[in-house]
Amino acid sequence: MDYTVTHATRFEYQGPVSESQMEVRLTPRHDERQTVQEFEITTNPAASILGYVDAFGNDVRHFNIIAPHSELVVRTRARIRTSPARQLPERLEPDTWSVLKGLRDNGELWDFFEPSPRVPFSPAVRALAAALDIEGHADPLTCTRRIVSAVHAAFVYTPDSTTVDTPLDTVLDERRGVCQDFTHAALAFLRLHGIPARYVSGYLAPSSESSQQNVTSHAWIEAWLPGLEWVAFDPTHDSAAGERHISVAVGSDYGDAAPTRGLFRGGPAGRLSVFVQIERDGAVSLGEMHWGPPALAENAPPAIMQSDQ
C-alpha cells in the first residue's frame, strides 16, 4: 500500500527560548517490508538539518537553533510503500528456544533480551507475567502470539490515561494505557521469557472503512525469532503488523525511538502538539493530538547569583 505521511510537531514555549537542540526519529524505515520513495523535513525557524544513523539503525536527523524563538515546528513528509502482512508459520520447532538461549549467552541482541529503562523486570512485572500464565514451553513464535494476546486482554486502551513518562509499574497497577504502554508490557513479558524483542514506533494508517479515525503515532513490537528474524505484532490490536503499520524507528524501548527529543535554554516548558496526516488513494484523514508537558527537558544554566538591580 502506498501512503503519504505528513507529520508536524509544534513546540510552543511560554516565553522565548534559545539554543535549542533537537533530534528527531521521523524517517520511515527502509527495509524488506517497507520502502521510502521520498522524505522531506523542514523546520521553522529554519536550521541546518544534519543526520546520522544510530546504533539501532534509525535515521536520525538533528538540528539546533541559537536565536530566541517562542515556537518551533518540525514538519516531515514521506511517501512510503508497505507490504502486505507477512505469512508466518503456525509454529516453530521447540528447539528454537535453545537457539535463542545461545544467542543470549553469547551477548547477541543484548539490547533486546535485557531490561531497559522503561522496561524493567520489576517485581510487579514478574508477578503479572506469572499471573498471566503464559505457557513458555511452546515454541517462541506461539509464545510470542500468546503474550501479545494476553497483553491485549489484560489492559484497557484508554487514550490520555498515561504520559510518555508513566512508569510501567503504574500501568500494570491500573491495567490501562496507550499503545506505548501495551508495547512496553509486551516487551517485558517477551524478554522475561527469553525472547528478544524491540520497540517499534511508527504510524497506523486508518483502514479504508473508517476515514474519520484519529491518526496518531503508534507503537508495537518486533520479536526476533530464528529463521524468521524480526516479526512484528501489535499488542494494542492483538494482531500481526500488516500493511497499515508504517514503521519509523526501533529501539529497546520508547526512549530509544522517541519521535522527537530535545533541550532548550531558558524559560518554562510549554506545549507540545502533534499533527499527523496520512493520505492513501486520495482519501484524507486528519488527526490531532495534544500532549501535556512536552518530551523536552529544560536545560537552564546553573544559578549564579546575579542581579540586574
Partner 1 sequence: MSDGEVAPAIFANYTHGRSYDEMFEKADKHRPHYDGIHHRLCSLPLEQWRERQHAADLAFVTHGITFTVYGRSEGVERIFPFDLLPRLVTAAEWHVVERGLTQRITALNHFLHDVYHDGRIFAAGIVPRRLVRECRHFRREMIGVSVPHDSYLTVVGTDLVRGPDGRFVVLEDNLRVPSGVSYMLGNRQVVKQVYPQLFERYHVRPIDHYPRMLLAHLREIAPAGCVDPKIVLLTPGVFNSAYYEHTFLAHEMAIDLVEGRDLLVHDNTVYARTTAGLERVDVIYRRVDDDYLDPLTFESKSTLGVAGLFNAYRAGHVTIANAVGTGVADDKAVYAYVPAMIRFYLSEDPILDNVQTYLLDNPADRAYVLDHLAELVVKPVGESGGYGMLVGPHSTAQQRSEMRDCILANPRNYIAQPTIALSTAPCLVDDGVEPRHVDLRPYVLCGRSITVVPGGLTRVALQRGSLVVNSSQGGGSKDTWVLGA
Partner 2 sequence: MLSRVADNLYWMRRYVERADQIARVVRVNMDLAFDRAPLEVVQLWGRLLSGLWSAPAWAQVTRESPTDALSDLTNIDAVASCVAAARENARQIRQHITGEMWDRLNGVHLALNDPARRAEWAQRPHGFFQTVREAAALFDAAIADGLARDEAWHFLQLGQFLERSASTARLLECQLRAPVPANESDRLLDEQLEWICLLRACDALELYRHRHRTELRPDHIVRFLIADQLSPRSIRYGFDRITETLAALAEAVPAQPAIVVGSALTDAVRVLEARDGPAVEAVCAIQGECDRIHRMLRATYIDHQQTVAPVANEGAAWITR
Residues at the interface with partner 2 (CB under 8 A): 8, 10, 18, 40, 42-48, 66-68, 73, 75, 275, 288, 304-309
Taking the complex as a whole, the smallest distance from the CB of residue 211 to partner 2 amounts, in Å, to: 20
Distance, CA of 113 to CA of 111 (rounded, Å): 6
Q: Is 67 in the site for partner 1 (CB under 8 A)?
A: no
Beta bridge partners of 30: none
Per-residue interface string for the shown chain with partner 1, residues 241-280, x marking contact by CB under 8 A: --------------------xxx-----------------
Residues with Cβ within 8 Å of 178's Cβ and at least 6 positions away in sequence, in order, are 157, 158, 159, 160, 161, 162, 236
> In angstroms, how far is the first alpha carbon of the chain from the final one?
64
Q: Where are the beta strands (DSSP E) in the chain?
A: 2-24, 34-44, 50-53, 59-65, 69-82, 156-157, 176-177, 197-204, 217-225, 229-234, 239-240, 245-251, 260-265, 271-280, 283-291, 296-298
Of residues 11-50, those binding partner 1 (CB under 8 A): 19, 21, 23, 48, 50
Residue 106 binds to partner 1 (criterion: CB under 8 A): yes
Nearer to partner 2 (CB atom), residue 47 or residue 78: 47
* Residues linked to residue 278 through DSSP beta bridges, in sequence order: 5, 285
- Beta strand extents in 34-159 (DSSP E only): 34-44, 50-53, 59-65, 69-82, 156-157
Check binding of 156 to partner 1 (CB under 8 A): no
Q: Which does 213 bind (CB under 5 to 8 A by kind): partner 1, partner 2, none?
A: none
Cβ distance to partner 2 smaller for residue 56 or 275:
275
CB atoms within 10 A of CB 300: 13
Query: Of residues 32, 108, 135, 173, which one binds partner 1 by CB under 8 A?
Result: 108
Judged by CB under 8 A, does residue 62 bind partner 1?
Answer: yes
User: Measured from the CB of residue 6, what is the shortest distance to partner 2 in angstroms?
Assistant: 8
Residue 196 found at the interface with partner 1 (CB under 8 A): no
Q: Which one of 75-83, 169-177, 224-232, 296-304 is the stretch in contact with partner 1 (CB under 8 A)?
A: 296-304
Please select the residue that binds partner 1; options are 46, 55, 210, 281, rule is CB under 8 A: 55
Q: What one-character-per-residue DSSP string does 243-268 give?
A: TTEEEEEEESSHHHH-SEEEEEESS-
Residue 309 CB, nearest approach to partner 2 (Å): 6
Please choose which of partner 2, partner 1, none residue 111 contacts, taking the beta carbon within 5 to 8 angstroms, the exact cut-off set by kind. partner 1
Radius of gyration of the chain (CA): 20
Strands 296-298 and 260-265: parallel
Q: How far apart are CA 167 and CA 188, in angstroms?
A: 13
Among partner 2, partner 1, none, what does residue 87 contact (CB within 5–8 Å per kind)? Answer: none
Which residues of the chain form contacts with partner 1 (CB under 8 A)? 19, 21, 23, 48, 50, 52, 54-55, 62, 64, 66, 104-108, 110-111, 261-263, 297, 299-302
